[in-house]
Chains A and B, each alone.
Chain A
Amino acid sequence: MHIPDGLLDPKTFGTAWALGGIAVGYAVTKTNKELQERQIPFMGVMAAFIFAAQMINIPIAGGTSGHLLGGMLAAVLLGPWSAAIIITTVLALQAFIFLDGGITVLGANILNMAVIGVLSGYGVYLLFRNLWPNRTGVLVGTFVGSWVSVVMAAIACSLELSFSGMGALSIVLPAMLTWHVIIGLLEAVITTVVVAYLTQVRPDLVHQAAGSR
């Protein structure tokens, strides 16, 4: 759901830049403290994987396609703040080099997918993991959190489109949700399969909250 230039008005994309900027700034300070040096190569590979996976549009239903967003994948493995940085990096490269997502609306795309999607999905994931503190909890939380991350990003996107006069929220929101509840399932399946693979031998690739949040 990369918004192109022209769909959001200045008050909306300006607000989104401010909110997204504050969140990413905070993510930078958190990552500076929490990311371990040995995780830096993993961060690079995670970003590369998400870029490649986002190219793969998969038909879902009714002549529409979806692709992985990857925010929850990065969040489960490297923590939500590193994930926000990773998704922001991917979105910026897509906008400037590949004409995927606009420039004025980059802040909104960051806010939706790198911040709201990641944090909402990760919150749900943590609920499951605390309730069920083993690998099953991690995988169930990953599945549900991934779905939530896509749906929440779609809701944020709908609000921005509606604020910008693209249509009444009562029309845009159900239309966006119709597709993104299905795309969310795609996100959930892919993310859970990759997390299951990466944690099959040693679960220590999963980001540990370590009581600091």
Chain B
Amino acid sequence: MRMMRKEIWVLLILSVVIALVVSPFASSLPDGLERVAEDHGFIDKATELINSPIPDYVFPGITNEKVATSAAGIIGTLLTLAVAYGIGCLLKGRDVQGSKTSQEQKHGNR
């Protein structure tokens, strides 16, 4: 990655700390939509269509639930960082190493 401002590094470090350290202590109360779905009797209509690799932010195979949540958090955070950075590069027609791809300068090809 190219040089980043100090504030952006701080935001990245904060993200890692939140994912690793804070996430196991997040509230497990229902969120606003889940609460409405419970109160009005349509939560049972919710289904699962695919087998997620890390369902509900709990990394499978780790017995300690706090550690399993930390693991899911850091994997998700780093994966999101990589995917969003990659999409940014694609959008600007730049290869991931940071140099312009030679003849792919035609903007508006996507």
Contact = CB atoms under 8 A, between A and B. Distances in A.
Given A35-B92, A52-B73, A55-B23, A98 B56 contact: yes
B84 A55 contact: no
Given A5-B46, A64-B30, A65-B30, A56 B94 contact: no
Contacts of A180: 32
A176 B40 CA distance: 11
A209 interface: no
Given A55-B18, A56-B18, A64-B31, A102 B49 contact: yes
Chain B interface residue count: which class? 35 or more
Chain A interface residue count: which class? 35 or more
A96 B37 CA distance: 22
Contacts of A63: 29-30, 35
Nearest to B92: A37
- Residue from A5, A44, A180 whose CB has the most chain B CB atoms within 10 Å: A44
B47 to A, nearest CB: 4
Interface string A61-81: 001111100000000000000
A54 B81 CA distance: 14
Contact of A99 (B29, B55, B92): B55
A48 B52 contact: no
Contacts of A100: 56-57
B89 interface: yes
A48 B29 contact: no
Interface string A194-209: 1001100100010000
B80 A90 contact: yes
Given A55-B19, A55-B57, A99-B52, A176 B7 contact: no
Interface string B1-44: 11011011011101110110011001111111101110110100
Given A29-B110, A65-B30, 16 more contacts: A6-B45, A7-B45, A44-B84, A45-B8, A46-B84, A47-B83, A48-B78, A52-B73, A55-B57, A56-B18, A58-B26, A63-B29, A85-B84, A154-B32, A176-B36, A201-B7
Interface of B: 1-2, 4-5, 7-8, 10-12, 14-16, 18-19, 22-23, 26-33, 35-37, 39-40, 42, 45-50, 52-57, 69, 72-73, 76-85, 87-89, 91-92, 94, 107-108, 110
